[in-house]
Structure 1
Amino acid sequence: MSLAQTRLTEERKAFRKDHPVGFHARPETNADDSLNLLKWNCGIPGKPGTPWEGGIYEVILTFKEDYPSKPPKCAFAKGFFHLNVFDSGDICLSILGGDWKPSISIKAILLGIQDLLDNPNPASPANSEALHLWKNNKPAYLKRIKDQAKKYDAQRLLE
């Protein structure tokens, strides 16, 4: 087993024992029912009291064999609307780039992404439309976020 796979096995055990309420993080299952530790399906709840509240936002974490030396690629669905999310869904977050440290856990990554949802970083925009609305028309920006939250409604996803 590679260093990346060993680390991800430990991450899985740790997350199953101690994860934030409402979050999930599971390795993808291969056709033969084995786990693909290099690709995780995760869900991040919107924080209560924010326009993101009520949604569970699916994120794919894709690891390479150089993990934990290098961060995983983290992405929402294509077209996800957020100031720091590219149209491809790729997330622009400092801990996934220049501020990456091998000690950062999957739990910390998911909490960082949750925090980014309601605390965008306009100094590092990835979506020009979202940046424009955020700077010039906050009500329109918040409406887009609330509409998106309905699309990811946790209750609807459970049905």
Structure 2
Amino acid sequence: MATGGIARSRLAEERKKWRRSHPHGFVAKPETLPDGSVNLMVWKCVVPGKEGTDWEGGYFPLTLQFPEDYPSNAPVCKFPAGFFHVNVYPTGAVCLSILSNAWKPSITVCQILIGIQDLLDHPNPASPAQDACYRLYKKDMRSYKDRVRQQAKQYPSLV
């Protein structure tokens, strides 16, 4: 079986499992192309902000771009460009250990999304991806939290 075939069959299985059971408030589905076909290599997702955090009430769009050699290598996970978070690059790319040096082929889409949700309220200042955001986080936590709550309001639930 070609490498891309392994990736696609794994993603088809992940999709089936997700449709049967997934965490409340999360969305994860393969991209639908203009011709109506499904692209298993790109997933459109929504990560809800955790209750009781400054992220609560936000439903944050995230794209997972799977490489042809998935699950040997992790997907690229991106929020919209300009997303405000210590560990999100200005391009929107998420900087998270389970997506790089701690990647294991056994990690599932569900685990990735839960890990990203956890990262929202528990940033890793030892691995900053946005300088201005990092400085605000380190020097003025109140302003940082205000900015997070403001961003959460920019991404309300679609239902």
Q: What TM bracket, shorter-length normalisation?
A: over 0.9
- The residue correspondences of 1:135-150 to structure 2 (distance < 5 A) are 135-150=138-153
Q: How far off its partner does 1:32 sit? A: 1.7
Which residue pairs with 1:42 in the alignment? 45
Structure 1 residue ranges (4+ consecutive) displaced by more than 6 angstroms after TM superposition? none
Alignment RMSD, CA only?
0.8
Q: Gapped runs of 5+ residues in structure 1?
A: none
Identity %: 53
Q: How far off its partner does 1:66 sit? A: 0.4
* Count of matched residue positions in the alignment of Structure 1 and Structure 2: 156
Which residue pairs with 1:108 in the alignment? 111
Pairing partner for 1:121 from 121, 124, 127: 124
For residues 153 and 80 of structure 2, the distance between their equivalents in structure 1, rounded to whole angstroms, comes to: 15
Pairing partner for 1:89 from 89, 92, 112: 92
Q: Gapped runs of 5+ residues in structure 2?
A: none
Q: TM-score, normalised by structure 2?
A: 0.96
For residues 122 and 79 of structure 1, the distance between their equivalents in structure 2, rounded to whole angstroms, comes to: 18
For residues 93 and 27 of structure 2, the distance between their equivalents in structure 1, rounded to whole angstroms, comes to: 19
Which residue pairs with 1:8 in the alignment? 11
Pairing partner for 1:134 from 118, 132, 137: 137
Q: How far off its partner does 1:18 sit? A: 1.2
Pairing partner for 2:56 from 53, 56, 66: 53
Q: TM-score, normalised by structure 1?
A: 0.96
For residues 108 and 119 of structure 1, the distance between their equivalents in structure 2, rounded to whole angstroms, comes to: 16
Q: 1:78 aligned to 2:81? A: yes
Q: How far off its partner does 1:153 sit? A: 1.5
Q: How far off its partner does 1:31 sit? A: 1.8
For residues 47 and 5 of structure 1, the distance between their equivalents in structure 2, rounded to whole angstroms, comes to: 31
